Amino acid sequence: MRILAIETSCDETSASVVQENLTGGIDVCSIIIATSLKLHASTGGIIPERAARAQIEYIIPVIDKALTESGFDKTEIDAIAVTHGPGLIGSLLVGIEAARTLSFLWQKPLIKVNHLLGHLYANFIAAQVPQFPAIGLVVSGGHTDLIYMKSHNQIKYLGGTRDDAAGEAFDKTARLLGLGYPGGPMISKASKEIVEKGTQLKYFPRPMRESGDYDFSFSGLKTAVLREVKANSKFTKNEMAAQIQEAIVDVLVYKADKACIEYMPKSFLLAGGVAANERLRDKINQKISKSVKIYIPPVNLCTDNAAYIGACAYYHPEIIDWTDLTPNPELTIV
């Protein structure tokens, strides 16, 4: 099966052609990502209206390029997949309208994909696919979710953030430090030297670490950082960045490890934009039990792209008539 996938849930416009490989995993034939990041860097965050306008400009060239680079033409595509939520409504609509139109014109089945579940399927773009049961942790700009997957379709929600998402905590605290947008990569870069020095990084509180459940809370960190900044902190900007990063990473790794101890899965899957964070990747590899096989996508497949949407569509072929597809901005992972 060969799928043309489209992803426009936030500020990226992406199209990708994927197909199954001989080992049951997914191969990427082409992946094109256009981003309006620079547009948002000037405003310190995403303005939904501007993101959607840029996506309207990008969507046709991006799909066209993805097809051309894949080496396949439309007659060789078996289905069209598209993100239907969660995300910004204007942005979701751009991808959905493009997918609906192509499904109608080309007479191809249309598959709707949950963006959050999709992130985890970046781990199936591999020669050796993860085995079930699996624990999955999705850490993105808008969501932090921990799930137990008995199979592709048997998914139990374990917990998630009660307020800000992990990525949001990076973005908001980076803004307080004046590091720019998006905050995650900026904080990661600013922290690098401090982390390498082996500095003690226990300054900020770890909310809900010992709560006994699988929920998270990151909004308190923002307040603690604000207080520290206003009080003329003894820390340098880089030290602050490293302290912030450690507070976020520490709780994520602690709860991921706790879930692996309780559920004893065969695989642990990390995904979402924050999974690009080097410290988080290292700590997950260090802390999670060696009896669990750890999957972390390559950095370029962590942040939003259509390849994992295509991969998820392959394992969850939820076919929908083009007349019935509408965006679902509030969609949850299960």
Stretch of residues binding ligand KG4 (CB under 6 A), selected from 128-136, 179-187, 202-210, 217-225: 179-187
Tell me the DSSP string of 235-301. S-HHHHHHHHHHHHHHHHHHHHHHHHHHH--SEEEEESGGGG-HHHHHHHHHHS-TTSEEE---HHH
Q: Which residue is nearest to Zn ion (CB)?
A: 140
Residues 2-21 that bind ligand KG4 (CB under 6 A): 10
239 binding Zn ion? (CB under 5 A): no
One-letter amino acid for residue 22 of the chain: L
Cα-based torsion angle of the residue sequence 21, 138, 303, 163 in order, rounded to the nearest 10 degrees: 160
Stretch of residues binding Zn ion (CB under 5 A), selected from 124-132, 196-204, 292-300, 302-310: 302-310
7 or 257: whose CB is closer to ligand KG4?
A: 7
- H or E element at residue 110: strand 110-114
User: CA 160 to CA 144: how far, in whole Å?
Assistant: 5
304 binding Zn ion? (CB under 5 A): yes
Task: Describe the crossing of helices 166-177 and 219-230 by its angle, rounded to 10 degrees.
Answer: 10
Least separation in angstroms between CB 10 and Zn ion: 6
Contact with ligand KG4 (CB under 6 A) among 28, 252, 274, 325: 274
83 binding ligand KG4? (CB under 6 A): no
188 binding ligand KG4? (CB under 6 A): yes
Contact with ligand KG4 (CB under 6 A) among 276, 292, 296, 313: 276
Least separation in angstroms between CB 305 and Zn ion: 9
310 binding ligand KG4? (CB under 6 A): no
State the pairing for strand pair 267-271/134-139: parallel
140 binding Zn ion? (CB under 5 A): yes
Backbone φ/ψ region at 28: left (φ over 0), alpha (ψ -120 to 50), beta: beta
Binding site for ligand KG4 (CB under 6 A): 10, 140-142, 167, 170-171, 182-185, 188, 272-274, 276-277, 303-304
